[in-house]
Structure 1
Amino acid sequence: MEIPMGDAKKLTNKYRLEKWVSVIQEQINRGKRVDVWCEENNIRRDSYYF
Structure 2
Amino acid sequence: MEKRSGHNAVMIQQGALTSTPMKAMAAGVYKGYACVWFGQQVDTYPPSS
Q: Specify if TM > 0.5.
A: no
Rg bigger for which structure?
1
Task: Tell me which interval the TM-score lies in, with the shorter structure as reference length.
Answer: under 0.3
Tell me which protein shows more strand as a share of its residues.
2
Tell me which protein shows more helix as a share of its residues.
1
- TM-score computed with the length of structure 1 as normaliser: 0.27
